[in-house]
A and B are shown apart, each in its own frame.
Chain A
Amino acid sequence: EADIYQTPRYLVIGTGKKITLECSQTMGHDKMYWYQQDPGMELHLIHYSYGVNSTEKGDLSSESTVSRIRTEHFPLTLESARPSHTSQYLCASSDPRVKSNYGYTFGSGTRLTVV
């Protein structure tokens, strides 16, 4: 049973559209992350949050934005989608106080295609 949920699982959208990818976790984790991953390739951190009202840019530059108004919710928004945004987007959370390690729990991802 998943503790971190991402919706939608798949999204095909036209260029210029605004989209929001949803991520919610029920574990009470303070830290949440967004990664971008091309199929079979490494994960690139694009955004992270240490808690409510905390958001930081990751190592890979991204035109997306995030918000963290509630602990359990960390949505990612693209104001104007472009074909270069086509990728898989993975959300993760972690809290070493809750788990005995620093490992992340990942959602199943949203596969975005911009046409």
Chain B
Amino acid sequence: GESVGLHLPTLSVQEGDNSIINCAYSNSASDYFIWYKQESGKGPQFIIDIRSNMDKRQGQRVTVLLNKTVKHLSLQIAATQPGDSAVYFCAENKSGSEKLVFGKGTKLTVNP
């Protein structure tokens, strides 16, 4: 069935380093992907999205890469800061579907 997952449940990095959070999806019909950030005690917050007709999209300090060949999605955070510490979720949407499918999160810890 459909599933979206992350490779690592936890990731620890030093402040100032770049972070890479990975996500694998299994539904080749998915055509829209989103990364969310969830801080402790809060709801998920939209970070960046990408459509399947793109390989890369950049935002402020974040980049999302999509490899449709291997059904892999990644979120890169440049110059990671303590405020980036959170759980990160990827989500997918299949064309024609009204719902997002969320994967398991990766907890990012930024060490000072």
A57 to B100 alpha-carbon distance, docked (Å)? 14
Evaluate contact between A108 and B42: CB separation under 8 angstroms. yes
- Is B59 interfacial (CB 8 A cutoff)? no
* CB within 8 Å for A106 and B105 given contacts A45-B99, A48-B98, A48-B99: no
Q: Are A40 and B87 in contact (CB under 8 A)?
A: yes
User: Nearest-CB distance from B106 to chain A (Å)?
Assistant: 10
* Chain B contacts for A105, CB-based, 8 A: 46
Q: Which residues of A contact B89 (CB under 8 A)?
A: 42-43
Extra 20 A-B pairs, beta carbons < 8 Å, given A41-B104, A102-B34, A111-B41: A40-B107, A42-B102, A42-B105, A48-B98, A48-B99, A102-B32, A102-B49, A102-B93, A103-B34, A103-B49, A104-B46, A104-B100, A105-B46, A106-B36, A106-B43, A106-B44, A107-B43, A108-B41, A109-B42, A109-B43
Tell me the smallest distance from the CB of A61 to a CB of chain B, in Å.
16
**In contact, B34 and A41 (Cβ under 8 angstroms):** no
Residues of B within 8 A of A50 (CB): 98
Q: Which residue of chain A lies nearest to B4 when distances are taken between CB atoms in the complex?
A: A42
- Interface on B for A, CB 8 Å cutoff? 32, 34, 36, 41-46, 49, 87, 89, 93, 98-100, 102-105, 107
Chain A contact surface mostly: loop
Q: Could you pull out 19 A-B pairs where Cβ atoms are within 8 angstroms?
A: A31-B98, A35-B102, A40-B105, A41-B105, A42-B89, A43-B44, A48-B99, A58-B99, A101-B49, A102-B49, A102-B100, A103-B34, A103-B49, A104-B100, A106-B43, A107-B43, A108-B43, A109-B42, A111-B41
> Which residue of B has the minimal Cβ distance to A42?
B104
